[in-house]
Chain A
Amino acid sequence: MSASQADATDERVKEMSAIRRWLIRPELGGIVGTLAVFTFFILFAGDSGMFNMQGVMNWGVVSAQFMIIAVGACTLMIAGEFDLSVGSMIGFAGMMIAIFLVVLGWPAWLSIILTFVMCMGVGALNGFIVIKTGLPSFIVTLASLFILRGFTIYLPQTIESKTIIGGIRDAAEGDWFASLFGGTIGQGFFRWLGENGFIGVFERGTRAGEPVVDGIPMLMIWAVALIIFGHVLLTKTKFGNWIFASGGDAQAARYVGVPVNRVKILMFMFTAFCACVFATCQVMEFGSAGADRGLLKEFEAIIAVVIGGALLTGGYGSVIGAALGALIFGVVQQGLFFAGVESSLFRVFLGVILLMAVILNTYIRRMITGER
């Protein structure tokens, strides 16, 4: 009971070695998983073209796609909420861009900005309903999943009597704002690589002699930018502390004056923003918006986040972990094709990886947080 007791160490708390302390972090599961996955594919698909420039770009782009939505899903999950409408939001956003740009003929920059505003509005509404009704976000966003998907099928069918609207690339041609989402950068460098034989070149056709990979897609730039933004926001800012607090225990956070409602609504909006980035990059790359785009992407985002070590109930996780989860997801999905594995087995592997990751992550988390 005396103050002197303070200085005595509690003999029951084991001292941790420096290495152990460095190792035991939320991202550990993701790091281990990434190493395991790459080891496997280098062994079994090393000579299949998976690790040449074209192959790297293939799984790289798929992983970058997952990363974009995983960053949003991760910060939202840490804030204690889910968004199941991400996949539908992707389809909806793409379709809105197509309608504004192709059907109504508005300029690309306006169409894109307007779509972002609409999507973030829907995100804010999701958050607002969750906060005001106290319903689980699972249910509220499940409703948005259906509503958005429904509009994504209904609108183009009513306006154009088809479910795919094309011609987006041509309509957005030359718009500087649209080029932030489509296209590539570093073309000169890749041409140089191609000319000097570091990467393959096209053998025939109109692009003969050009490198098979003509630059870094903007999609990847967005993925990296969002990961950095999400990581800094979460770990280095006051707001990041509020995100953890809101998800860890909303009531405790409110008692010390954290604006929990504002935090959660903003995170819903950020998730919608990420889905919209995904959709815009997709329509700018492929040139068309379809009613079935983004199907099941919400679960893929959540899976990537969980592989990355986040806690489903909120308050714990890491953007870097989620990004690694997305990388694992992308590499496995594309890598199985390179390894020549029957593609219907993809889900089996996904399930196995998910289970292993969750078990490992639970173990790591217990060591860090003292959960029992």
Chain B
Amino acid sequence: MPQPIIEMHNIQKHFGSVIALAGVSVNVVPGECHCLLGDNGAGKSTFIKTMSGVHKPTSGDIMFEGQTMNFERPRDAIAAGIATVYQDLAMIPLMSVSRNFFMGNEPVRRIGPLRFFDHAHAAEVTMAEMRKMGINLRGPDQAVGTLSGGERQTVAIARAVHFGAKVLILDEPTSALGVRQTSNVLATIDKVRKKGVGVVFITHNVRHAMAVGDRFTVLNRGKTLGTAQRGEVTAEELQDMMAGGQELATLEGSLGGTV
């Protein structure tokens, strides 16, 4: 197995008296899709927000490409190459696809001392990237609001990859989507993984996870129940673990003693 890009060691996060994460360890290697499963309130959101620099962990280490990292704000994580696509906040519907695509990373063209948004360049790149991802736009100025939910997720993923993400965190990208749109997003994940990006795929839908996942980590009540390789675990077992780990004893063997 290649060297992990990011390693999270024994991450704890407390909010006042509430222990949201009680020692979670996860790593992500390039070119894999690492599925993070858990029921609502399991600590998935807190964990990815810690990874993407929104929260600082109460204790524990974050190693990025072998170096210890302390992310002060999301910007630091983005700069390091950790991009996050949030379920509802991926895109701004009122703005055009190209404006969204370059939001925060606007290409600039200089005319004398003045600097302008390079719309021609932005349009060209956006159209090319969208074609690669399988989305046909009427034009780069088409508003994101006219795209389907799946397409929006795809644009957000394409954006993250275009701007050099090494780790891509997807927060429940499929939870609000129909069957066909879900399969499009899963296909996109597959494309991105093949480019060598480490994908962290958060979901509570075991079938979606099994469709593209290489490794699976289940979170329950702020703790990890271990990480399993593809083929070592069945959908039913993951489902049980998410539900509360009642079947833990019987699963221990199949998880290879990693619990």
Direct contact of A and B (CB under 8 A): yes
Contact A257 B93 (CB under 8 A): no
Interchain CB contact under 8 A, B78 and A252: no
Asked whether A236 and B116 contact (CB < 8 A) given A241-B103, A245-B92, A257-B78, the answer is yes
Q: How far is the CA of A16 from the CA of B143 in the complex (A)?
A: 14
How does the 8 Å CB contact mask read for A1-44 relative to B, with 1 for contact and 0 for none?
Answer: 11101111110010110000100000000000000000000000
Report if B61 contacts A (CB, 8 A). Answer: no
In the complex, the answer to whether A258 meets B104 with C-beta atoms within 8 Å is yes
Stretch from A63-71, A184-192, A346-354, A364-372 that touches the partner = A364-372
Residues of A within 8 A of B45 (CB): none
Which B92-129 residues have a C-beta within 8 angstroms of A? 92-95, 99, 102-106, 108, 115-117, 119
Are B74 and A254 in contact, CB atoms less than 8 angstroms apart?
A: yes
| Nearest CB of B to A179, in Å | 27
Residues of A within 8 A of B (CB): 1-3, 5-10, 13, 15-16, 21, 235-238, 240-242, 244-245, 248-249, 251-258, 311, 315-316, 368-371
Listed A/B pairs (18) with beta-carbon separation below 8 Å: A1-B183, A6-B134, A21-B139, A236-B116, A237-B116, A245-B104, A248-B92, A248-B93, A252-B89, A253-B92, A253-B103, A253-B104, A256-B78, A256-B105, A257-B105, A258-B103, A368-B143, A369-B145
Residues of chain B within 8 A (CB-CB) of A255 are 74, 84, 86, 89
A248 to B93, CA, bound (A): 8
Complex Cα distance A237/B109, Å? 9
B residues with a Cβ closer than 8 A to A are: 74-75, 78, 84, 86, 89-95, 99, 102-106, 108, 115-117, 119, 131-136, 138-139, 143, 145-147, 183-184, 186-187, 191
Q: Which 4 A-B pairs have the closest CB atoms?
A: A6-B134, A370-B146, A248-B92, A370-B145
Complex: how many Å from CA A311 to CA B145? 15
Q: How far is the CA of A8 from the CA of B134 in the complex (A)?
A: 9
Q: Considering only CB atoms, which chain B residue lies closest to A311 in the complex?
A: B94
Q: Are B99 and A241 in contact (CB under 8 A)?
A: yes
Contact B91 A1 (CB under 8 A): no
**Cα distance A5–B145 when bound, in Å?**
22
| Interface-central residue, A241, A256, A368, A370, by most chain B CB under 10 Å | A256
Please tell me if the beta carbons of A316 and B184 are within 8 angstroms of each other in the complex: no
Closest residue of A by beta carbon distance from B91:
A252
A260 to B93, CA, bound (A): 17
* Shortest distance between the CB of B98 and any CB in chain A (Å): 10
Q: Is the CB of B106 within 8 A of A370?
A: no
Could you say which residues of chain A place their CB within 8 Å of the CB of B84? Answer: 255
